[in-house]
Amino acid sequence: MLIRKLTVSRLMLASAMTVLAAMSPSMASAEGITLKVFGGSALNKLAPRQTPDVQKAIQDKVIAGFLAEHPEVKAVEWDAQGPQANDVQRLMTARLANQEMDLIACSAFYTNGAYVRRGLVRPITKEIEAFSANLDQPAIGAFTVRGEVYAVPITTMSTSTIFYNKKLFADLGIPVPPTYEDLKAAAPKLAAAGVIPLLHQGSNTPMWPMWYFETFAQSSGDPIGRTTAILDGKAKFNDPDGVAAFALLKQWVDDGILSKDSLAVDQDGMRSAFASGKSAMYYGGTWEVPSLQESVKDFEWGVFAFPKMPGTPGEPKHGGGADNGMCMSATIAPEKVDAAVAFMGYLTKPEVATLYLEPEQPLATSVKGVPVVEDAYAKDLRASAFPNTVKFLDWVWPAEIATAVSSSIAGVVGGQLTPQQAADAVQAVYDDLVAQGNWPPQD
């Protein structure tokens, strides 16, 4: 009798569990979905340059608007904290601990260099088709790896440009925007006036590769495609177009435009020399604008794109692009995908993107229809540099290659290395990475 009662109890329990299992999807649906957004650092939030209070108010408003439009989602929990340097480590630690994450607020740098290669995010090329028209196409390119899109860009845009002293150029009759030949002809005029033509922050070595991004674009015609082929072992850093990239850079020195004194100058020195009128130009990114607005008081400054160099097969392309985006985690539960895509799409609505991008005072944005700065320099950048902007190559290179390129450029500028030797040195570093089993990435 006891055995029969136990058997009946077990059958009833099994039946109840079956009913609960059958009910659980609808119950979960009734309760609503909670989307988990993970960011590797405190910069992986909306309006990252704002104060914490302002940032939180903006983020709360955006999320509240989304929840009002999507009642099937009960909450969006956004966990982003810590320094940027620990971005990948924090994400890997969370993944190893099986922390639930549906979306990953991601920088383009880490998405290209680590997240895709480590299988932390999944492609979303087809999922975003419904709202991709809201997005700037070069911005999408910053998160495109081997033809697949891995993030929705939700950010201000950066590009690279040459900043110049408008008064000096006008006084000496230098055309604007100048061709490379114009700059070459202007160099002795500037030197005769006691002005350094162009000074770079050469002692800040991680900034040297920006020059290579420009020259390799022109020597190769396809900087991203050629770099991908090199990293796949199908081409080499010391192929003719790689050697030519260093030779084009050397030409700036040989023609008296780029000063060798740059090797001993740091960022503050470069900025100070320009602001005081001791140098006529410097090359950098749009992140330089706040410093220029604060420090340049005695003249008006302007911008022009890195010029086309004589005899090069490729057109000018400038490093930059969308800095931040929203990736879909590779571990997202299938039943959350639609809600995650809906949240991505919501963030690309112009009226929503304006909430989190306009406070950043953008020169350009990844979402169309967001108000931007209307100063003359901003209009010049949007007309010239931004349309020809491609992702920074060090978003694609392993870190060792970026270091090798920096060293090789310094050697070329200083006259210690020929362009061939410089390219050979970079290829040697790549070959060593492969020989040591450190490339391609195994994780």
| Rounded mean pLDDT, 149-165 | 97
The helix, strand and coil proportions of the chain, stated in percent and rounded to the nearest 5, come to 50, 15, 30
List pLDDT tens digits, range 328-363.
999 999 999 999 999 999 999 999 999 999 999 999
Q: What are φ and ψ of residue 116, in 5° steps?
A: -70, -45
| CA distances, 404 to each of 156, 196, 426, 427 (Å) | 30, 28, 5, 9
pLDDT of 214 = 98
Element (H, E) at 361: none
CA-to-CA distance for 35 and 28, rounded, in angstroms? 13
Return the ∠ at Cα 115 (arms to 113 and 33), rounded to 5°.
Answer: 150
List pLDDT tens digits, range 381-424.
999 999 999 999 999 999 999 999 999 999 999 999 999 999 99
| Rounded mean pLDDT, 41-50 | 93
- Asked if the model's pLDDT at residue 12 lies above 80, the reply is no
Percent of the chain scored above 90 by pLDDT? 89
Please name each of the domains of the chain with its CATH number. Answer: 31-157+322-378 (3.40.190.10), 160-319+398-435 (3.40.190.10)
Strand-strand pairing, 157-158 and 321-322:
antiparallel
- Asked if the model's pLDDT at residue 70 lies above 60, the reply is yes
The number of residues making up the chain comes to 443
| Rounded mean pLDDT, 88-105 | 95
CA-to-CA distance for 417 and 140, rounded, in angstroms? 37
Give the 3-state secondary structure of residue 400. helix
pLDDT of 132 = 97
CA-to-CA distance for 198 and 99, rounded, in angstroms? 50
CA-to-CA distance for 123 and 140, rounded, in angstroms? 12
- Which of 342, 340, 349, 345 shows the shortest CA–CA distance to 35? 340
pLDDT of 31 = 78
CA 297, 300, 306, 310 dihedral sign is: negative
CA-to-CA distance for 416 and 405, rounded, in angstroms? 14
| Rounded mean pLDDT, 160-180 | 97
pLDDT of 84 = 85
Percent of the chain scored above 70 by pLDDT? 93
137 CB neighbour count, 10 Å cutoff: 12
| Confidence category of residue 442, pLDDT binned at 50, 70, 90 | low
List pLDDT tens digits, range 278-335.
999 999 999 999 999 999 999 999 999 999 999 999 999 999 999 899 999 999 999 9
Judge whether 122 and 330 are in contact, CB under 8 Å.
yes
